[in-house]
Amino acid sequence: MEVPHDAVLLRIFTSVADRWKMGPLYLGIVDKARELHLAGATVLRGPLGFGQSGKLHRGNLLPLTQDVPVVIEIVDSEDKINEFLPVLDEMMESGLVTIEKAQVLHYGRQRASLMSRLKQQLGISARPPLVH
């Protein structure tokens, strides 16, 4: 998967408590992004915030009852993000979605994995497995 240098940063502001089908909305969005082969997604959780309702969302000592803000960040090409927006539109009931231009300087692995570097160092990379 490749991301062009001139990309788009999509940010979705919602609450941990918002639901989509049977689970939390933020997980639904991450799953959907993965299913549609978007480049990646990151979820950030905040202890405090408010939205359209004006109701203060804040964390408390019981993690299971938390109704705190979450931000999902997705960076991909403008085309991929534009394809994703109508899908997202179906999922969002309240919340905020923002779009910004972003320049991608690095995406994914640009050097060999630790395992293949080790193998290369030990000189066993190209050797086929022994057959008895």
Partner 1 sequence: MPEIAEATLLRIFVAENDRLHGHPLYHVLVGKAREMKMAGATVLPAPVGFGQSRMVRCDLNVDAGPHLPIVIEIIDSEENIGRFLPAIDGMIDSGLVTLEKVKAIFYRSAAKSAEPANV
Nearer to partner 1, 44 or 124 (CB): 44
User: Is 23 among the residues that bind partner 1 (CB under 8 A)?
Assistant: no
Nearer to partner 1, 45 or 117 (CB): 45
User: Is 63 among the residues that bind partner 1 (CB under 8 A)?
Assistant: no
Residue 7 vs residues 10, 96, 105: alpha-carbon distances, Å: 10, 20, 10
As given in the structure block, the two tokens for residue 128 are: 């086929």
User: Is 124 among the residues that bind partner 1 (CB under 8 A)?
Assistant: no
Q: Which of 52, 103, 110, 121 binds partner 1 (CB under 8 A)?
A: 52
User: Is 69 among the residues that bind partner 1 (CB under 8 A)?
Assistant: yes
| Candidate ranges 20-28, 94-102, 104-112, 115-123; the one touching partner 1 (CB under 8 A) | 94-102
User: Is 61 among the residues that bind partner 1 (CB under 8 A)?
Assistant: no
Residue 89 vs residues 57, 64, 85, 93, 123: alpha-carbon distances, Å: 23, 27, 6, 8, 52
Going by C-alpha positions, the residue among 100, 67, 74 that lies closest to residue 88 is 74
Nearer to partner 1, 85 or 112 (CB): 85
Going by C-alpha positions, the residue among 75, 70, 86, 78 that lies closest to residue 27 is 70
Length of the chain: 132
Angle at 109 between CA 104 and CA 111, to 5 degrees: 120
| Candidate ranges 35-43, 45-53, 107-115, 116-124; the one touching partner 1 (CB under 8 A) | 45-53
**Residues found near partner 1 in the complex (CB under 8 A):** 13, 44-54, 56, 69, 71, 85-86, 89, 92-100
